[in-house]
């Protein structure tokens, strides 16, 4: 028991990373992958996680090695890189926050009832999460996310187990490379899996926050353990949601909505009709905790990143974290009220920017961890460097492929 408690204490930023990652990419995209292609896109999930692995890992590695965030590193490489991040993040953070919150709102409405008004639910969730972060700060978030991930893991495993037991047909694991509209879905699926690469910046910030609340400095081995647990969790849960989509939704003949909130409700109803009413609560809790974890972690991370960026760009010491939470919560609420009908276009813009910038963030992260800023003994080994170079080639090619698909 002591060993378990000791291991749990080591965890924190890695689980926050998992919480941020396992949102729309898992609940909506992975489930849809299973619904439309059965088990045929497992290869895509595994290969993109493989090639993105080093660039996400360099967030906590750089933070532990230098005592600085990746944003500090970008600033040392050149002020222009930080301005690039500030403008890009400001342009997309409201849309991303709105997108994840609206799906959470749809699930909350399905789980708790009370009202079907998505705007009311979205604003309530935004205010609730904001209050937790403003008054509880990192220490509370660290505890909350551990509970959420444990609940999510248990309910997801239960759900896939029920689906496997109730499945009467044979399971085909033949892998598929889609074409036409399916190809566009594949690109989006891989682009958001497990998350956009700028989340590595958030991870570096959370690592230093964890360091602050501990009495002793986090060791590099403990930080890598924490990261690997979080990263492997996202991969396993991604496979779970593909499996659920394949077992329950594939071949159902159901027409699924492109709107996240509506899709989430369809998902729960279809699971319940196939797995039985007894599975309703398990599925609903698994889906809601998936999206709630993303909503609260993104609401925490963007303000932390923007606060640190302001400090560096304008040589300020003041912490603007709470100010940016209020700005993000307010902006998100205004989109709910006035621009909800334009969400499709806003998400498309955010998606394009995420794809285009992925190789840039990958290159910057790699450049930082092999620079003189990081002691030689803490730099990545030869195998990780090789994977990084292969990953850079893959992500660059993937981005060009995506842009060509938009043009065609």
* Burial (CB count within 10 angstroms: exposed 0-12, middle 13-18, buried 19+), residue 317: exposed
199 vs 344, which has greater pLDDT? 199
**What mean pLDDT comes out for the span 361-368?**
96
Instruction: For residues 388 and 369, give the distance between their C-alpha atoms in angstroms, rounded to a whole number.
Output: 11
Q: What is the largest CA-CA distance in the chain?
A: 64
Kindly report, residue by residue over 92-147, the tens digit of the pLDDT.
899 889 888 988 888 888 888 777 788 899 999 999 999 999 988 777 887 888 78
CATH number of 2-407: 1.20.1740.10
> What separation in angstroms does the CA of 1 have from each of 6, 142, 214, 310?
9, 20, 21, 44
**What mean pLDDT comes out for the span 199-216?**
88
Number of Cβ within 10 Å of residue 342's Cβ equals 11
The per-residue pLDDT of the chain, averaged, comes to: 85
Kindly report, residue by residue over 235-257, the tens digit of the pLDDT.
998 998 898 888 877 776 766 66
Let me know: does 119 contact 336? Beta carbons within 8 Å: yes
Q: What is the DSSP letter of 173?
A: -
Is residue 275 scored above 90 in pLDDT? Answer: no
Structure tokens at 260: 């996240």
**Minimal CA–CA distance to 219: which of 370, 79, 63, 86?**
63
Let me know: does 290 contact 26? Beta carbons within 8 Å: yes
**What mean pLDDT comes out for the span 392-396?**
95
**Residue 343: predicted pLDDT:** 64
**Minimal CA–CA distance to 141: which of 326, 303, 28, 319?**
303
Let me know: does 265 contact 103? Beta carbons within 8 Å: no
Kindly report, residue by residue over 282-308, the tens digit of the pLDDT.
778 877 887 888 899 999 999 999 999
3-class SS of residue 91: helix
Is residue 222 scored above 70 in pLDDT? Answer: yes
Structure tokens at 103: 């799906």
Q: Please spell the DSSP secondary structure of 321-370, one letter per residue.
A: HHHHHHHHHHHHHHHHHHSGGGHHHHHHHHHHHHHHHHHHHHHHHHHHHT
**Minimal CA–CA distance to 284: which of 369, 197, 186, 159?**
159
- Does residue 194 have a cis peptide bond before it, meaning omega lies within 30 degrees of 0? yes
Structure tokens at 348: 């498309």
Sequence spans of domains, the chain: 2-407
């Amino acid at each position: 028991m002591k060993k378990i408690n000791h291991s749990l204490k080591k965890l924190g930023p890695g689980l926050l990373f998992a919480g941020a990652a396992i949102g729309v990419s898992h609940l909506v995209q992975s489930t849809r992958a299973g619904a439309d292609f059965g088990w045929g896109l497992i290869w895509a999930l595994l290969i993109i996680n493989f090639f993105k692995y080093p660039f996400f890992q360099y967030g906590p590695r750089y933070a532990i090695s230098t005592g600085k965030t990746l944003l500090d590193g970008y600033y040392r490489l050149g002020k222009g890189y930080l301005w690039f991040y500030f403008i890009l993040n400001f342009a997309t953070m409201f849309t991303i926050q709105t997108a994840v919150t609206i799906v959470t709102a749809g699930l909350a409405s399905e789980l708790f009832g009370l009202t079907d008004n998505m705007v009311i639910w979205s604003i309530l969730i935004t205010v609730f999460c904001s209050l937790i972060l403003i008054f509880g700060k990192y220490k509370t978030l660290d505890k909350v996310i551990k509970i959420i991930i444990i609940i999510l893991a248990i309910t997801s495993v239960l759900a896939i187990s029920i689906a496997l037991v109730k499945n009467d047909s044979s399971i085909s694991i033949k892998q598929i490379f889609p074409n036409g509209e399916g190809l566009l879905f594949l690109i989006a699926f891989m682009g958001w899996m497990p998350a956009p690469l700028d989340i590595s910046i958030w991870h570096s910030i959370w690592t230093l926050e964890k360091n602050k609340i501990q009495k002793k400095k986090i060791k590099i081995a403990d930080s890598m353990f924490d990261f690997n647990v979080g990263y492997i969790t996202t991969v396993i849960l991604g496979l779970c949601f593909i499996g659920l989509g394949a077992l329950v939704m594939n071949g159902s003949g159901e027409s699924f909505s492109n709107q996240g909130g509506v899709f989430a409700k369809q998902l729960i109803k279809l699971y319940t009709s196939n797995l039985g009413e007894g599975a309703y609560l398990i599925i609903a809790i698994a889906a809601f905790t998936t999206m709630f974890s993303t909503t609260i972690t993104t609401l925490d991370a963007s303000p932390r990143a923007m606060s640190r960026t302001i400090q560096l760009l304008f040589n300020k010491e003041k912490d603007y974290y709470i100010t940016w939470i209020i700005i993000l919560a307010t902006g998100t609420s205004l989109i709910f009220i006035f621009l909800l009908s334009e969400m499709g276009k806003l998400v498309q813009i955010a998606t394009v920017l995420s794809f285009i910038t992925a190789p840039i963030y990958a290159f910057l992260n790699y450049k930082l961890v092999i620079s003189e800023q990081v002691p030689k003994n803490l730099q990545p080994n030869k195998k990780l460097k090789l994977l990084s170079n292969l990953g850079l080639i893959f992500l660059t090619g993937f981005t060009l492929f995506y842009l060509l698909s938009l043009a065609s």
